[in-house]
Each structure stands twice: as structure tokens, then as C-alpha cells.
Amino acid sequence: CMLGLVSVHLCLCPQLSGQMVELFEECQQQSSDLDRKETCRTRLQQDIQQVYAVARLYLTGSSMNGLGCRSSDADLCLVIKGNKRHDPIHVLSVLQRLFKSLSYVERTQLIRAKVPILRFREKGSDLEFDLNINNTVGIRNTFLLRSYAYADLRIRPMILVVKKWARHNQINDASKGTLSSYTLVLMVLHYLQTLNEPVLPSLQRDYPEWFNPFMDIDMVPEGPKHVPPYISRNQSSLGELLLGFLKYYATHFRWDKQVISVREARALPKNNSQEWRNKYICVEEPFERNNVARAVHEKIKFDAIKAQFAESSRILQQRKDLNSILPVRAII
Ligand code: ATP
Ligand code: MG
């Protein structure tokens, strides 16, 4: 199917588009990678149920949304239902003690962020897990992102290349004050939604019942399920879209005046409300009114991000070769 993608969307920037498809095919998560994560999830859920009998463990993030690489970590959400409000730090400390007794887990580490997580690895492998407690918005937005990922054949290669580019240029690490992968994905979707001839619609607008933010969490589709593909009139090649993406954030997007809303498929005017006030980058979480880019709180990091868009946009415009902004061979 990727060969079809090249021939249909190759009219402009054929070399660049071909390189993007190639990189995507080399790096995308394989079904064996997912099987390994799923096996681990099942084992963990059984062990956790010895302590929290009704808890359910969900795989979320790029492992499940179609935007994962072979090297992506596995994000997990533990859902503990009931009237009692569970303090995430308390639950994670209990789990940390439990995990230290499990033969297949190592290097557990409790991270006290706004959404606290337990980070650990599968013993003897490089498979890393990030587990949160009851942060169910991650289950909802994983389903939304998966629906966007499969809405058009160009989305998955486009996003994977942008993630690799950002990682290579050190602007993809929220713990260091730059962009989380999740923020980057929403930035790409926003660009594709706001082209004169959009590549993507607002799926929340087109399918309100599928993406109802109050839907019972047990009813949110897991696994391969997603909404039907979108038929776009936009025939741009992958290379053109990458050039356009970099240019959009290098020159058109008004960081000081606009809020990215994938929910509404447009840029909203930045008002003075608490989520957006004094923030360098404003990207709305599609299911809640908060800023997923709040990690970017230092001017110096914000400037570095903008400079990277400007520099890469300029070079790629000139060279039309992916290697000029991302040494493809070095990262495969
Ligand atoms: P990677 O392949 O780099 O691991 P990823 O798609 O898993 O990328 P992360 O930034 O690691 O992206 O986030 C994992 C998941 O956690 C996201 O897909 C999303 O479901 C959820 N998430 C992350 N940040 C937020 C946030 N600020 N608000 C709500 N959900 C978030
Ligand atoms: Mg992840």
C-alpha cells in the first residue's frame, strides 16, 4: 500500500517523498513489538490485580495510536474504578514495591510530575514503560489520534518523520523543556487541518458520538478500531507536506496570538485565560481545556524550537533532500 502512496503522491518532491516512505517503513512499530508490549501488559495486570482486584491496565500512546516507532516506549494507564479517589503517588508507591518483587521487571523509578508516573523496564531488554494512574484522558486521546493516523495514508509517514526530525534536533523532550511527542503530533494534525484544501477534518466535529468526552471509559474503542478514512481533495505529496509544515511554523503561525485547536480544526485567538496567559506555545488538549505544551516555559527553549523550524525549513526548501535535515542512515 505504501507503493501506491508513492505513485499517487509523488508529483512534486519525488526524492524527498520517497525518502520519507523509506524511513517510515524502516522505523514503524512492528507487530512483534506490539505483541511484546501486550504480553507484558497482560502479566502486569494479573500481578496488579492481586493488590487492586478491579484494576484494568490499558496500553496507550504511540504503541496503540499507529504513530509508534520500533524504539517507542510503552505508555500504560491503570484504571481503578470506584467512589474512592486514589492518590496517584500512593498507588504508584504500592506498585513500586510490588514491581520490585517481580522477576520480569527492573529499574523502577517514581516520577513526581503533574501526572505522576512509574517508569520501569522489562528485565534484560530495552523496552521501557511509563505507567500512570487514572489519567483516562490518555485513553480517549489515543483513540482520537489513531483515528487521525488512519484517516489518510500520508498521516503516519508524515508524523513519524517529524518525530524523528524533532528528536534528532533535540526539541522533542518535555522533561527538558521542549516539545512532547504528543504536542508535536497535534501540531502536525493542526497544519493538515488548516491547509486551503485540508488533508484532515475535525474528527470530533464529524463524529461527536464517537469522541464524546463523557463516554464511559470501558466503551472507548481499544485495539485497531478507528473511524472511516477521510476523502481529501488535497493531492500534495509527502515531501510537499513536510516542506509546508516546516514553513508554516517557521513563518505563518503566530505563536503569541494563536492557540492550536485540533478539536475545532483551526487556530483560536489567544485570550487571557489562565491556560494560555504567559505561555510561549499553546496547544489545546482535544478533550480538556488545558495546554499540552506547558513544558515549554523557558524563553531560551522556545527560541531554540522556533530557530529549528526556521533553519530546517530554509535548508529543506533549498536541498529537497531529507538527509539535509535528518541523517536518515544514521538513525535507521
Ligand atoms: P513516543 O513514540 O515518542 O513515545 P507518544 O505518542 O507515545 O510518542 P508521548 O508524548 O510519550 O507520545 O505521550 C504518550 C501518550 O500520553 C499520548 O499519546 C497521550 O495519550 C498521552 N499524553 C501525553 N501528554 C499528554 C497531555 N499533556 N495531556 C493529555 N494526554 C497526554
Ligand atoms: Mg510514548
Would the CB of 67 count as within 6 Å of ligand 1? yes
Would the CB of 152 count as within 6 Å of ligand 1? no
Would the CB of 285 count as within 6 Å of ligand 1? yes
From residue 68, alpha-carbon distances to 155, 210, 227, 252 in Å are 12, 23, 19, 29
Sign of the torsion angle spanned by Cα atoms 144, 147, 151, 155: positive
| Ligand 1 atom at minimum distance from 294 CA | 27
Would the CB of 322 count as within 6 Å of ligand 1? no
208 CA distance to ligand 1 centroid (A)? 22
For residue 305, the model assigns a pLDDT of 98
End-to-end CA distance of the chain: 21
For atom 20 of ligand 1, the residue with the nearest CA is 138
For residue 8, the model assigns a pLDDT of 55
| Ligand index nearest the alpha carbon of residue 138 | 1
Q: In this structure, what C-alpha cell is assigned to residue 154?
A: 500520508
In DSSP notation, 110-130 reads EE-SSS-EEEEEETTS--EEE
Enter the DSSP assignment of 69.
B
Q: In this structure, what C-alpha cell is assigned to residue 136?
A: 483516562
| pLDDT tens digit at each of 332 positions of the chain | 465 565 555 568 899 999 999 999 999 999 999 999 999 999 999 999 999 999 999 999 999 999 999 999 999 999 999 878 889 999 999 999 999 999 999 999 999 999 999 999 999 999 999 999 999 999 999 999 999 999 999 999 999 999 999 999 999 999 999 999 999 999 999 999 999 999 999 999 999 999 999 999 999 998 777 789 999 999 999 999 999 999 999 999 999 999 999 999 999 999 999 999 999 999 999 999 899 999 999 999 999 999 999 999 999 999 999 999 999 877 77
The interface predicted TM-score (ipTM) is 0.98
For ligand 1, mutation pick of 129, 136, 181 (most atoms within 8 Å of CB): 181
Q: In this structure, what C-alpha cell is assigned to residue 183?
A: 504536542
| Ligand index nearest the alpha carbon of residue 117 | 1
For atom 31 of ligand 1, the residue with the nearest CA is 138
For residue 189, the model assigns a pLDDT of 99
Q: In this structure, what C-alpha cell is assigned to residue 149?
A: 493516523
| Ligand 1 atom at minimum distance from 180 CA | 10
For residue 19, the model assigns a pLDDT of 96
What's the maximum distance between 2 C-alpha atoms anywhere in the chain? 59
- Report which of 38, 60, 47 is spatially closest to residue 100, judged by C-alpha positions: 47
